[in-house]
Structure 1
Amino acid sequence: MTTSRYLTAQKISLLVLVRLYCSSALPSSSTIPILSFVISHTLSSPSSSARSQRSSSSTSLSHDTTFSIDAFEDVLQGHASSMPGRTLLDVFLKHMWEMNSFDALHVLFEGLNELVHPPPQSENQEDAPLDRVYLSKTSPLGAFVRRADLEFTRLQFDDAMKLWSSFVKYRAPTAQWTKRLAGLASSGVDRVASEMGIRPGDDLYEIAYGHLDDQDEEGEGLSTDDLDRILDFQLDRLQRFGDRVPETMKNQLQGMVSSSGLVHRQAHLVQFFDAWKAGDYTSSFDNLHRYYDYAMQTREKIHYQYALLHMAILQADFGCFGEAIAAITETIATARENQDMTCLSFSLSWLNHMAKAFPKQMKSAGYMNMLGSERDALTFLKAKAKDAKMYNLLSATLLNEAKLSLATGDSIPRAFEYMYQSSHLNIKESVSNYGSQMLLQSTLYSRLGIPHMANVHCELLLDCYNHYCPIDERIRAVGRLAFIMSQSGRYNDAITALESIDPTVHKSLKYHQYLILCIGVIKFKRAIRRSDWPTCTHLLTTLKPQPPNHPSSTPLDPEVSFLLHESHIDYLVSRGHYSQAYTSISALAHSLKEDNADVLQRVNVLLMKADLFRKVGKPERGFGVALRAASVSFKARLMPSLWAAVGLLANILNGLGEYTSAKRLAEGVVPQALEGADNMLIGTLYSHLADAYMGLADPNGAPKTSTSISSPSGPSANRSTAANVAKAELYIDRARTCYKKSGYLAGECEQLMKKAIIARLRGDEGLAEEWAQNHNRVWEEGMKVGG
């Protein structure tokens, strides 16, 4: 059966319901539910740029174009009619079955004009019904009735007969719903055929109605308008959420499009997005060309700049930055020529984002910043968004300004101000930008050393805004939760959280690679903590971090890529490859400086360099670097980095014999670090504090190396020495507990050796031997677990 342009059996049933409404057969209490039901199935879906997502239920109604007859039962069953003892469903079915011939179908459409054309005022008003409702021609219901009448007039006889047959088949299940239909439904499918004595099995009856018992074909009951609405809904989800079309839906769409016998350009755009997310560059490229070729054939030249914009995003996503810059430059020129401020502003915003996310690749492709500095670009975009009332772009620009404040180490209150302005705009203008806001707030609280607040915002995104956020924001929220778990030593829970993501997400190549990289980084960190070097070697061959200054390196995600480089440097330092570690740190620092990278990343590089100087026996050089890192961290309010820098300064001071100063520094940050719940950092601070107390226990006060522990000077030790040793043992036990929680095997064994050395210095050889045996046992058990 060929696909109808507009009319279907569902729309005929809706026309019957509209006629009931206009005849005032509906009580006032049921008017709003009935009208809501009719409007939700007749109004065309707005474009994705203008649509504001209200609820998942409303969305499901807006694209449900092939609803069954049971939907009418669900709406009408609970409402009483003006006739005693009967519901609105009884009245509705009565009118449905009174339409018992092809001629009655024509009578229905011939009477539609009466619904939108009230009688002239000059006629006798006494004969007109008092409670009659007339529809305005420009109202949603009036437009629906007028278009239905026009489309039926255009139908040829054969198509009108097919429409009547589909209505008969659609109405058939209601014959058994109520006994009151016994008289109306007894005439069968067609009253004229019954009066003529034509029964099932006769040749004439089989020609007209013999196909009614056939199984539903794919796409039957759909009009071209309905299919366009379904494709528009799929495009809206693909654009706003970034997911792929499920296989079952893809097969259904293919069946619907093929059965229609027409070319739907939206189908090519759906295939473009699906192939793009699947990583199929060739298919996505071809389908994009097909879509805009059909658009140009219909003289819709407004789509040309959007074709170039999609092309630029597609090229950049596959690493072709030169082609992307050429396409986006043409997009900007075309948008200016056509005075399309929406496309122009979005193009400039995307170009600014790409220059920030991939600076090396954009520079190597010949990009020169056309908007000046990043702050100037954001100011320009914010002004344009305000003038054009592009609230989506304005909200995103405000969040980008907050990100810039965090990245450059500016005022934290200013970043909060930008975020609150964006939040106010989201609520006031119904902008669905909650995911980006929640992720940014999570980042801010993580930098302030409040991980439980960062955790809460990620969980809030996943629990409350899951249906309003793109899939990449949901994946980033899960990834951030996983990294917060790994900080406290819950590596297995972190990996489980990443692996428990919906398997359909892995159908997208980009998201699959992101999840694999996150899981690999967490496993790599866990293997380093467990001193599981074979696993580290295997993971390195899998992850393969490229040199940061390599021009062809295209990181999937800049943040995760930095974590990978940081873990690789940690691996080199743990294995004792100090020369390679220093080379990697220098290259990473140079790359971050060239890219004007995030201040947090640059501070972490300083901390790695200072720790490396300390380990190679050059604490003086490390002191200056650590002091610089602490100063920058304090100004930018990077609290975890500040605590780590102060702990590193305390450790360096221990090596220089300044135990009192080291103790004061460590004691000053330990209470705040405990709120951060980073067991690795807390254990390190406790270890440095224990070393400081052991240094204070030495009455000679001689400088010691950072790897040795000072001891009391024989039996002449006073009460102060004993108290310092007791505090040192207390903090050693706490450090050991934290290292055990974080899975740091070498650190836990180091604390056991410190306990053995203290026992031996006291002269208790038995206790020292016991601690040494515990050291060996813990190491062997840890290696078995790691292996």
Structure 2
Amino acid sequence: MATPRYLTAQKISLLVLTRLYCNSSLPSSATIPVLSFILSSNLPPTASSARPRPSSTSSRHDTSFSIDAFEDVLQGHASSMPGRTLLDLFLKHMWEMNSFDALHALFDSILDLITPPSPGTLDEEASDRIYLSKTSPLGVFVRRAHLEFTRLQFDDSMKLWSSFIKYRAPTAQWTKRLAGLASSGVDVVVSEMGLRVGDNVYEVAYGHLDEQDEEGEGMSLDDLDRILEFQLERLQKFGDRVPDDMKGQLRSMVSASGMVHRPAHLVQFFDAWKAGDYTSAFDNLHRYYDYAIQTRDKNHYQYALLHMAILQAEFGCFGEAIAAINETIATARENQDMTCLSFSLSWLNHMAKAYPKEMKGAGYMNMLGSERDALTFLKAKAKEMKMYNLLSASLLNEAKFFLATGDSIPRALEHIYQSSHLNIKENINSYGSQMLLTSILYTRLGIPHLANAHCELLLDCYSHTCSLEERIRAIGRRAFIVSQTGRYDEAISTLEAVDPSMHRSLKFHQYLVLCIGILKLRRAIRTSDHPTATHLLQTLKPSPSPSNPLLDPELSFLQHEAYIEYLVSTAQFPRAFEAISSLAKALKDENADIALRVSVLIMLADLWHKVGKPERGFSVALRAASVSFRARLAVSLWCAVGCLGGILNGLGEFVGAKRLVEGVLPQALEGTDTMLIGTLYSHLADSYMGLANPNLADSALLPPVTSPSTPKVAPSPGSSSRSRAFHIAKAELYIDRARDCFKKARSLDGECEQLMKKAIIAKLRGDEKLAEEWAQNYNRVWEEGVRAREG
């Protein structure tokens, strides 16, 4: 028999259970479990497969469930008959269907459940029965089952009866009360005729009952469509791919049905898309909507265009994406599909923000005005249409806008809390993006442990409702937070321990590989392993534009940052200056996030300080500190103030440098960036050495000052030997602390620099022996670091 349209042995059993529910008085404790079981096994998907994000599906997706599922639901509930459970009553009704004629009798009488008698003919027994409404979910199920059975040909109905016999057979041994009913075997007519196994008539009718079930047997076309809908929800909502074993099962089910299933093409489209197979994704999308047009199902043509636009943008074809999304918007307006229209405008606004240079180059003109106006418009439309998913996303996008422009942090928090309240009130399940945005907010405020806690909360409590991309981003963010303490091996292990199934999507595989590569590059730079860093840069060298359309924008900036750090560590200052200048220009043209632009200013100021021109870096560092303070970028503020302290030390302004560094050091200690803390301690030690003897400004202890504009500071006539000893002791204390921090951060150059400072201090004191010991410690630490990285 070809795959049935609707009726299967499972649905016949559900009809029996439905009749039992209507004709018997069930205990109140069993009403909800029984109804939930029947409805979850029959309700169709609530969202069209063509829509971008189905909102909900049935909680039960095992459409070909075994007979054991009925035992799990009914065994624990007592019936109205003493000593009998609901399972006993259910099996009694199942085995009372002891012939093919009894199956016909079931479907002939099943419409009585939705046809109440006239008020004048009600008897006592009929008054206790439950009658279903024709438009209720159970009533629709009963009416469709009756209709589908009347459409069956005799051969198909016989095979349906045979499948029911095989499905029911395991229950013969469940209870002794079935002894009388099950004794007749598969068919009471066969028993009455005296037919046995081996007789010709028996073999013709029931000889195939002992054959092994084939793949997909017991499943209807309706069940197969529901399975495909479930796979589509997983692909669209969570972003993962179909597992290989499930892919093989789906392929065999679809081929066994002998029909063309349009959802199957959409499943293949999403799977190919996530695998990075552009050609197959494009072909399957066209196949899906070609079949839709052939069947005159044009209601969701705009979603075909929307999927096309997203697919084109995913592979960097922004011109084609803009053309497709403009056609999507026009079609959605024509069809008055406000859901598709609002989603399209939201996606277009996101793309214009994420890839402004590429979108402008492709001819995009912002149709919604400024970004603030666009977000206001989307919020208003979402409230008007009661599209709470879009409203929650718009609130989070507005919070991102405030953070990116350096606007009010309280307003950003207010929008995050409004989105959170909406998620709880309307059960939206968009906690992943909310947790990630909150993590970013706390990172900017310099509270990394709270940022890490929100990532852990996402992974531990909301991973089942979050998309795969959100989970991977949370893992990556945790890894970078851990790496700030110098635990690069642990961070890399965290990324390498990600479930292999996540690597099956090309985009996520590239994300994980790039995160691991950046962490390894940073570790190589910090440990002065320049050959390894050079080798890694062959694959990690960033593109000229910080917003690579085929790369995550955040990781793209981290690539540029690591590359500049490598150039500075290898004393390639001209190339580093060119890289910083081009990056700053690109970020300015794209109106990028203020945190990224401030980071570039700090890199430029630090570069001027390292090349011996601190007065040129002073204004840059001061500007970075001012912007960071206004935008509440705590980590950037600490870095900028530390850079200012180093510049002031180079200019001989030791008192001012000390006050600045001491002002931010307690807050920086609350963070986990050991490299930053070590740098601040080092600048503070330089300030105290300068206060001990201003003439030391020209020594090797402090950065060299070669500019002729550097003022000459005369020794303070009031400095006493006691004050000098106090300042030198303070300097040594902070040098030791800086060395500990650099050691935790695995910065070999930073640790050795502090040892060199200790040797210089000992030499200035006249203790040549101690200076020699510190010099030997310098050599020992360097050699141990080289051996550690080579081992």
TM-score when scaled to structure 2? 0.96
Question: What is the one-letter code of the residue matched to 1:780?
Answer: E
Contact 2:546 2:556 in 1 (8 A): no
1:704 shift after superposition: 5.8
Q: Does 1:753 align with 2:756?
A: yes
Q: Please, which of 643, 655, 665 is the counterpart of residue 650 of structure 2?
A: 655
Q: What is the match of residue 628 of structure 1?
A: 623
Q: AA paired with 2:288?
A: Y
* Partner Cα distance (2:396, 2:695) in 1: 57
Whole-angstrom distance in 2 between the partners of 1:331 and 1:526: 47
Structure-2 separation of matches of 1:374 and 1:245: 37
Give the match's secondary structure for 1:370.
coil
Aligned equivalent of 1:474: 471
Deviation of the 1:28 alpha carbon: 2.7
CA contact (8 A) 2:612 2:703 kept: no
Match of 1:154 among 151, 154, 173: 151
Q: How far off its partner does 1:131 sit?
A: 2.0
1:436 match: 433
Residue number in structure 1 paired with 2:63: 65
1:587-639 per-residue CA deviation (whole Å, 9 max, x = no partner) reads 00000000000000000000010011111111111001000000000000000
Aligned-residue RMSD, C-alpha? 1.9
Question: Which AA in structure 2 matches 1:46?
Answer: T
- Look up the match of 2:311: 314
Q: Superposed, which structure 2 residues align to 1:487-636 within 5 Å? A: 487-548=484-545, 553-636=548-631
What is the rounded CA distance, in whole Å, between the counterparts of 1:516 and 1:711 in structure 2? 55
Instruction: Give the conservation status (yes or no) of the 8 Å contact 1:325–1:367.
Output: yes
Q: Deviations over 1:684-711 (max 9, x none)?
A: 0000000000111116686667326999
> Conserved in 2, the CA contact under 8 Å of 1:273 and 1:284?
yes
Q: CA deviation at 1:60?
A: 4.5
Picking from 73, 80, 83, the partner of 1:82 is 80
Deviations 1:257-307 (A, max 9, x none): 111111110000000000000011111111000100111112121221111
- Is the CA contact (8 Å cut-off) linking 1:655 and 1:704 kept in structure 2? no
Question: Shift in Å at residue 545 of structure 1?
Answer: 1.1
Deviation for aligned residue 1:250: 0.7
1:717 Cα deviation after fit: 5.6
Farther off after superposition, 507-516 or 328-337: 328-337
Shift of 1:150: 1.1
- Closer, same or farther in 2 for the Cα pair 1:185/1:549, shift >3 Å? closer
Q: Give the SS at the match of 1:220.
A: coil
1:691 maps to amino acid: D
Residue of structure 2 equivalent to 1:11? 11
The CA deviation at 1:364 is: 1.9
The answer for the alignment partner of 1:668 in structure 2 is 663
Distance 1:555 1:626, change over 3 A: farther
Q: Kindly indicate whether the alpha-carbon contact (under 8 Å) linking 1:656 and 1:704 is maintained by their aligned counterparts in 2.
A: no
Distance 1:165 1:528, change over 3 A: same
Contact 1:582 1:609 in 2 (8 A): yes
| Closer, same or farther: CA 623–99 of 1 in aligned 2, 3 Å | same
Q: 1:692 to 1:59 in 2, by over 3 A?
A: farther
CA distance in 2, matches of 1:533, 1:703: 30
Choose from 414, 427, 431 the match for 1:417: 414
| Structure 2 residue 374 is the aligned partner of structure 1 residue 371 | no
Distance, in Å, in 2 between the alignment partners of 1:81 and 1:711 is: 102
Q: 1:707 aligns with which of 694, 697, 703?
A: 703
Instruction: Tell me the distance in 2 between the aligned counterparts of 1:60 and 1:140.
Output: 16
| Shift, 1:26, TM fit | 2.3
Structure 2 residue aligned with 1:100? 98
Classify 1:353/1:51 alpha carbon distance in 2 versus 1 (closer, same or farther; 3 Å). closer
Structure 2 counterpart SS, 1:302: coil
1:330, distance to aligned residue in structure 2 (A): 1.2
* Structure 1 position 193 matched with structure 2 position 196: no
Match of 2:781 in 1: 778
Distance 1:595 1:713 in 2: 51
Listed one character per residue, the Cα deviations across residues 8-62 of structure 1 (whole Å, up to 9, x for unaligned) are 1011111111111111242233222111111111211211668655xxxx9552x
Q: Aligned in 2, Cα 1:440/1:549: closer, same or farther, shift over 3 Å?
A: closer
Match of 1:741 among 744, 752, 758: 744
Which residue among 332, 342, 345 is the counterpart of 2:342?
345
Deviations 1:180-235 (A, max 9, x none): 21221111111101111111111111111111111111111111111111111111
State the alpha-carbon separation in 2 of the partners of residues 304 and 79 from structure 1.
49
Query: Where does residue 698 of structure 1 map in the other structure?
Result: 693
- Specify whether residues 618 and 127 from structure 1 end up closer, same or farther in structure 2 by C-alpha distance, changes over 3 A only: closer
Match of 2:246 among 240, 246, 249: 249
| Equivalent pair of 1:693/1:728 in contact (CA under 8 Å) | yes
In structure 2, distance between residues paired with 1:188 and 1:699: 107
Q: What are the Cα deviations for residues 645-678 of structure 1, in whole angstroms up to 9, with x where unaligned?
A: 1111111111111111111111100000001111
The aligned amino acid for 1:187 is: S
The amino acid of 1:529's aligned partner reads R
Mapped to 1, the partners of 2:429 and 2:402 lie a distance apart of 23
- Which of 728, 733, 757 is the equivalent residue of 1:730? 733
Aligned residues: 778
How far apart in 2 are the matches of 1:126 and 1:104? 26
CA shift for structure 1 position 84: 2.1
The letter for the 2-side match of 1:495 is: I
SS in 2 for 1:122: helix
Q: Specify the SS of the correspondent of 1:111.
A: helix
Q: Which residue of 1 aligns with 2:117?
A: 119
Aligned amino acid, residue 468 of structure 2: I
**Separation in 2, partners of 1:740, 1:429:** 50
1-structure distance, mates of 2:594, 2:161: 70
Structure 1's unaligned 5+ residue stretches are none
Q: TM-score, normalised by structure 1?
A: 0.96
Alpha-carbon distance between aligned partners in 1 of 2:42 and 2:714, rounded to the nearest angstrom: 86
Q: Secondary structure, in 3 states, of the residue corresponding to 1:301?
A: coil
Query: Which residue in the other structure is 1:179 paired with?
Result: 176
CA pair 82-206 structure 1, distance change in 2 beyond 3 A: same
- Verify the 8 A CA contact 1:656 1:703 in the aligned structure 2: no
State the distance in 2 between where 1:554 and 1:136 align.
55
Of 625-634 and 486-495, the range deviating more from structure 2: 486-495
Q: 2:283 aligns with which of 283, 286, 293?
A: 286
Say if 2:443 and 2:451, in contact at 8 Å, map to a contact too. Answer: yes
| Offset of residue 86 of structure 1 | 2.1
Spell out the pairing of 1:213-232 with structure 2 (5 A cutoff).
Answer: 213-232=210-229
Distance in 1 separating the partners of 2:313 and 2:519: 28
Residue 90 of structure 2 aligns to which amino acid in structure 1?
F
| Residue type at the aligned position of 1:21 | Y
Deviations 1:55-102 (CA, angstroms, capped at 9, x unpaired): xxx9552x1211100001111111122222222111111111111110
CA offset digits 1:351-399 (Å, max 9, x no partner): 1111111122212222222222111111111111111111111111111
Q: Which runs of 5+ in 2 are unaligned?
A: 706-712
Superposition misfits of 4+ residues, deviation over 3 angstroms: 48-53, 125-130, 699-706, 708-714
Using the aligned pairs only, state the percent identity.
74
Greater shift, 266-275 or 314-323, is seen at 314-323
Distance of 2:17 and 2:424 partners within structure 1:
37
Letter of the 1:239 partner, please give it. Answer: Q
With 135-144 and 241-250 compared, the bigger mean Cα shift is at 135-144
Aligned residue in 1 for 2:709? none
1:134 is matched with: 131
What letter corresponds to residue 544 of structure 2 in structure 1?
P
Q: 2:765 is matched with which residue?
A: 762
Stretch deviating more after TM superposition (538-547 or 448-457): 538-547
Using the alignment, how far apart are the partners of 2:29 and 2:442 within structure 1?
50
